């Protein structure tokens, strides 16, 4: 035993070893990793990687889509353009519901069910609240425990910066990359608050609305517009004591849907009950979702809806670009504050102010 004062006789009974030298607090084997932003690839590297289903490159390309750096944006646009010929070959499904409705639990269960058929699944999200909270919850991997470790799934949270329109555009572009990477089922998740539903509806083939049975007046809290968008309404947590209440809610929804005019697709929206947590009647839900796909592919509406969505996005892109070009114009920025003041003081009308601003903008762009 090595020498230590406490090992002497008077301390008998205690055996204390001499201290060992402390290891360095820095790991000598640690190698500095390349900074994430620096590892940018060429357009063809991205496209090839994505086409081969390389998840790391796909993720990096999505990060470029989400970047506010104009260089990244330009690069992302090139990648998207090159991926476009390989995109479109998927079934895009929007999934919406209020917080607590069971979206993450359901998507976890639904995802596994869909993947049993083979193929690959991407779960994306549009979260309008993420701008404020600076971090998105929707699409978070930790909320989908089983799906997140599945080798054929790709989960990506909502882009967290920008307006709803901007966030929606990024998600739509991400769909294109995912499709080029071979993901043939795409879920787009959103919270049931209204505007974000419209955004999701504008990019999916089927819109699935998750509802809960509650106090007996389920229909009160749900906006008519959202119900009209739904191709299927599914009532979750139909398990245990809740089964009867869920069936009742389903009947109420069915009755309410009867009052709506027939949809353009010719499809009558279905109402089903299920339990995402206990894995009950999941097959029925997905039989319905796939029955819709067969139905609209046969009657041609599948392509009509996609074409309409393309038109919608063309105009959205134009509008967004024009708007940002206008508002980011230096001269406009200062004139805007001035004109605003004059309108508030009643010196000029709002129309005059708008015209002054637009005239200034157009005269500037004409000279270029």
- Residues lying near ligand GDP in the complex (CB under 6 A): 97, 99-105, 236-237, 239, 275-278
Which of 61/144 has CB closer to ligand GDP? Answer: 144
Cα-flanking dihedrals φ and ψ of residue 311, to 5°?
-60, -45
3-state secondary structure of 121: strand
Separation of alpha carbons 67 and 166, rounded Å: 11
**Tokens matching residue 57:** 């490159």
Which of 177/208 has CB closer to ligand GDP? Answer: 208
Which of 236/339 has CB closer to ligand GDP? Answer: 236
Please, what is the minimum distance in Å from the beta carbon of residue 290 to ligand GDP? 21
Please, what is the minimum distance in Å from the beta carbon of residue 102 to ligand GDP? 3
Strand bridging mode 121-126 / 185-191: parallel
Please, what is the minimum distance in Å from the beta carbon of residue 278 to ligand GDP? 6
Which of 136/339 has CB closer to ligand GDP? Answer: 136
Which of 13/240 has CB closer to ligand GDP? Answer: 240
What residues have CB less than 8 Å from 227, skipping those under 6 apart? 209, 233, 253, 256, 257, 260
**In 3D, which of 77, 68, 62, 61 has the Cα closest to residue 328?**
68
Please, what is the minimum distance in Å from the beta carbon of residue 139 to ligand GDP? 10
Please, what is the minimum distance in Å from the beta carbon of residue 144 to ligand GDP? 9
Which of 171/211 has CB closer to ligand GDP? Answer: 211
Separation of alpha carbons 267 and 301, rounded Å: 10
Separation of alpha carbons 264 and 15, rounded Å: 85
Structural element, H or E, at residue 334? helix 330-344
Separation of alpha carbons 271 and 263, rounded Å: 15
**In 3D, which of 61, 330, 320 has the Cα closest to residue 176?**
61
What residues have CB less than 8 Å from 268, skipping those under 6 apart? 257, 262
Please, what is the minimum distance in Å from the beta carbon of residue 161 to ligand GDP? 22
Which of 106/339 has CB closer to ligand GDP? Answer: 106
Please, what is the minimum distance in Å from the beta carbon of residue 291 to ligand GDP? 22
């Amino acid at each position: 035993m090595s020498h230590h004062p406490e090992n002497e006789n008077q301390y008998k009974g205690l055996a204390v070893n001499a201290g060992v030298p402390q290891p360095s607090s820095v790991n000598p084997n640690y190698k500095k990793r390349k900074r994430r932003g620096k590892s940018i690839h060429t357009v063809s590297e991205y496209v090839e990687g994505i086409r081969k289903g390389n998840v790391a490159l796909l993720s990096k390309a999505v990060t470029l889509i989400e970047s506010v750096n104009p260089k990244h944006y330009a690069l992302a646009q090139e990648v998207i353009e090159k991926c476009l010929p390989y995109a479109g070959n998927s079934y895009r499904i929007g999934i919406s519901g209020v917080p607590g409705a069971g979206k993450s639990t359901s998507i976890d269960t639904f995802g596994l069910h869909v993947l049993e058929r083979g193929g690959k699944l991407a779960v994306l999200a549009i979260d309008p609240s993420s701008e404020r909270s600076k971090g998105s919850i929707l699409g978070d991997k930790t909320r989908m425990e089983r799906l997140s470790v599945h080798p054929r799934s790709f989960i990506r949270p909502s882009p967290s910066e920008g307006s709803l329109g901007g966030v929606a555009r990024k998600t739509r572009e991400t769909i294109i990359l995912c499709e080029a990477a071979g993901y043939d089922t795409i879920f787009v998740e959103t919270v049931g608050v209204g505007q974000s539903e419209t955004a999701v509806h504008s990019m999916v083939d089927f819109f699935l609305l998750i509802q809960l049975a509650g106090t007996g007046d389920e229909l009160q809290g749900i906006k008519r517009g959202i119900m009209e968008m739904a191709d299927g309404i599914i009532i979750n947590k139909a398990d245990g004591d809740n089964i009867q209440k869920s069936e009742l809610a389903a009947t109420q929804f069915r009755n309410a849907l009867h009052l709506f005019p027939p949809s353009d697709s010719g499809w009558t929206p279905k109402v089903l009950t299920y339990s995402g947590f206990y894995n009950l009647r999941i097959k029925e839900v997905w039989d319905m979702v796939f029955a819709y796909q067969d139905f609209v592919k046969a009657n041609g509406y599948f392509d009509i809806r996609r074409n309409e969505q393309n038109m919608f996005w063309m105009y959205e892109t134009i509008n967004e670009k024009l708007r940002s070009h206008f508002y980011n114009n230096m001269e406009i920025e200062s004139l805007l504050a001035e004109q605003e003041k004059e309108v508030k003081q009643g010196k000029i009308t709002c129309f005059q102010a708008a015209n002054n601003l637009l005239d200034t903008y157009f005269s500037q762009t004409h000279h270029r």
